[in-house]
């Protein structure tokens, strides 16, 4: 007969492997990948923006938090420790860098995060972008952090703020009140004193 301690160890190893399988994971449906990666490329932020209204008029903190929660939830639910996390964002989009770096540092050991410059397909062309890669080692901690965020600031409350910002962004100027950039080409004493041009 097998030694009881050896049998127990084998059973524990089997259950661990069974409970934490690694599958091919990609954020974009139909993208071909393999079980070694948790692939959120290309243009992670651009794709996630299609699942939740995140207006540019919203507070930067809320934009970053929204993108972080969306991407982190996918990683916590779909990916596994040991997989290589792949994230991409536009170089000129500050919220992309902040939210994706936060995710990489939350899912992986900070020292293992590698950044490289890439070109991201966009509207038939390409835009300068960046890619982050690192081995996932903190999936459980990431899930716990998401739980803490939800208790401190429920996702429904965040969505309400984003929707409020979108409504403000789309409200037309009242009749008789020119838009901020109306008549920017007209030179007046006020425009000269204030710099001579509309804010860019």
Domain map (residue ranges) of the chain: 20-157+165-171
List pLDDT tens digits, range 13-24: 433 333 345 567
Cα within 13 Å of Cα(145), Cβ side: 17
SS3 4: helix
Using the 8-state DSSP alphabet, how is residue 31 labeled?
-
Per-residue pLDDT, 175: 52
Is residue 98 scored above 90 in pLDDT? yes
Per-residue pLDDT, 3: 53
Per-residue pLDDT, 78: 94
Residues above pLDDT 70, as percent of the chain: 72
Which comes out higher in pLDDT, residue 66 or 182? 66
Between the alpha carbon of residue 32 and those of residues 23, 88, 108, 189, the distances in Å are 12, 17, 23, 61
Using the 8-state DSSP alphabet, how is residue 198 labeled?
-
Per-residue pLDDT, 14: 37
Per-residue pLDDT, 22: 56
Least confident of 10-24, 44-58, 74-88, 96-110: 10-24
Mean pLDDT rounded to a whole number for the chain: 80
List pLDDT tens digits, range 122-176: 888 889 999 999 999 999 999 999 999 999 999 999 999 999 999 886 666 455 4
CA distance 150 to 158: 10
CA distance 70 to 77: 11
Between the alpha carbon of residue 145 and those of residues 9, 66, 140, 163, the distances in Å are 31, 14, 9, 24
Per-residue pLDDT, 174: 56
- Non-local CB neighbours of 38 within 8 Å, separated by 6+ positions: 25, 75, 78, 79, 80, 83, 84, 85, 86, 136
SS3 151: helix
- Non-local CB neighbours of 151 within 8 Å, separated by 6+ positions: none
Is residue 43 scored above 60 in pLDDT? yes
């Amino acid at each position: 007969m097998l030694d009881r301690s050896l049998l127990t160890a084998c059973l524990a190893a089997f259950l661990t492997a069974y409970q934490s399988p690694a599958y091919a994971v990609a954020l974009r449906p139909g993208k071909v990948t393999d079980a070694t990666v948790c692939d959120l490329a290309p243009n992670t932020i651009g794709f996630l923006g299609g699942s939740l209204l995140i207006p540019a008029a919203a507070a930067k903190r809320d934009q970053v938090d929204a993108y972080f929660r969306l991407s982190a939830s996918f990683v916590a639910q779909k990916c596994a420790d040991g997989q290589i996390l792949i994230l991409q964002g536009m170089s000129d989009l500050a919220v992309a860098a902040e939210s994706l770096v936060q995710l990489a540092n939350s899912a992986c050991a900070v020292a293992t995060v590698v950044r490289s410059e890439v070109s991201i397909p966009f509207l038939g062309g390409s835009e300068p972008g960046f890619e982050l890669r690192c081995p996932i080692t903190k999936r459980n901690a990431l899930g716990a952090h998401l739980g803490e965020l939800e208790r401190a600031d429920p996702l429904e409350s965040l969505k309400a703020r984003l929707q409020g910002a979108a409504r403000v962004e789309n409200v037309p100027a009242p009749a008789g009140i020119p838009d901020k950039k109306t008549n920017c080409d007209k030179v007046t004493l006020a425009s000269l004193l204030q710099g001579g041009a509309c804010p860019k």
